[in-house]
Amino acid sequence: MSLQAPSKLLELAGQSLLRDEAMAIPALGELPTELFPPLFMEAFTKRRSKTLTAMVQAWPFPCLPLGFLMLTPDRKTLRAVLEGLDVLLAQKVRPSGCKLQVLDLRKDEIFRSMWSGAPVRSPQAMSQRQTGDDCPGTQRQWPLKVVIDFLSTCDSKQEKKFLKYVFEWAQQREDLVHLCCKQVMILGLQTPSVKKFLDMVELKCVQKLYLDMVELECDQDVKMCNFSEVYELGRFVPYLAQMKSLQKLHISYTFEDNYTWIEKPEPEKVGQVVARVASTFLKLDKLQELSLFSVCFLQDHLDQLVRCLKTPLETFQMTECRFSESEMKHLFLCPSMHQLKELNLSGIILSDVNLEPFQTLLENAAATLQVLILKDCCITDAQLSVILPALSSCHQLITLNLRGNRISKAVLENLLRHTVSGLRLVGYPVPEEC
């Protein structure tokens, strides 16, 4: 028979309070601060609506990180929290013990540490997030900030209703509530609900943007590639231009090999779209990470886009695309690539490309480059020998992936001799002899 560890006195006191809501609510004013998080979680799990409403009004911390408790969104418990916030917003003077400034609805593992008391990797960043000081979107002071991620990819109808409910609640109180969205993930740009959301939030707050333009499907057997999504990207540019705090931009175009063209792109129109996106990049002076996945419409326009990167990037990812040698040269020699920490060119065919410009890129980024992924690039022995001296000078490099390239055993051994010292994670191809 196993013995269970005895419950802490505070936990027992909290459980006792929740057995009788009529007794618990008046006692909140005398409740020790450390008892609020476990008691709140208990009340939330057991759906004690009246206790939740009262606890929000007496919350003794700057932030209420509700997101990870909403893994299975329940409107009744959410409504109880929002009703407590309504009471606070209606008061000119808040109760002395209440310090609530931010309702954080992101499903973020970091905030588990606030509830559990576990150590945090960056206490300063944690403090900023709790008080809302990490929000660069607006200088206006709001009584309450509601932080949320928008994921149009969520499959759960319950979760979509939850998002809609929060948006409508915040919109009805727009003079009192700042709806702050840090991360936006959009699957398909033409959905009316996406545009409605983008018109509702303060786009200056967005720091991460994921755009996935998907193929059309008429039935299960026929895949059709429609470039109307590319033109729709042009209509998205006014929204992108407002995201002045954007740090990470991921653009992908998802389609399968067995597709049928139903609309071929007109080069002039595609060029116009890329030009509008590129001109917007001039306004994104906080952009640190740019990822382009299977964006076939960028062919012949890559250099046009890269030239407009205003600040040095920390991460650049471009996979499964085909570009000319001239375009790749412009990319490798672009000043915005000189301080990279991570470079991923997986699936970019480099076998017919002069890699001397790439060698120059490695030399320029030698002091900062930590991750280099050249998987399935068809790099040859001769090309690897060209870049090896520059590669060996990248002393910060900790991850190198060369899998899927046609490299001989002798060149691999030479590579090992020059690069293995500081590497922690390495992916080498199987030598051609094997």
DSSP string covering 225-236, please? EETHHHHHHHHH
Are the C-beta atoms of residues 233 and 274 closer than 8 Å to each other?
Answer: no
Alpha-carbon span 242 to 425, nearest angstrom: 39
Are the C-beta atoms of residues 106 and 67 closer than 8 Å to each other?
Answer: yes
Ranges of the chain whose pLDDT falls below 50: 1-6, 118-126, 216-226, 256-262
Query: Which pLDDT does position 121 carry in this prediction?
Result: 46
Query: Helix, strand or coil for residue 228?
Result: helix
AA letter at 271:
G
Alpha-carbon span 158 to 170, nearest angstrom: 19
Residues shown for the chain = 434
CB atoms < 10 A from the CB of 63, how many?
22
Query: Which pLDDT does position 129 carry in this prediction?
Result: 54
AA letter at 283:
K
CATH 3.30.565.10 fits 313-434, yes or no: no
Which residues face 65 on adjacent strands? Answer: 104
> Any idea what the Cα angle at residue 264 is, between residues 263 and 267, rounded to 5°?
140
The domains of the chain are located at: 313-434
pTM of the model: 0.83
**Residue 373 DSSP label:** E
At 231-259, the pLDDT tens digits run 777 778 889 999 999 999 998 876 544 44
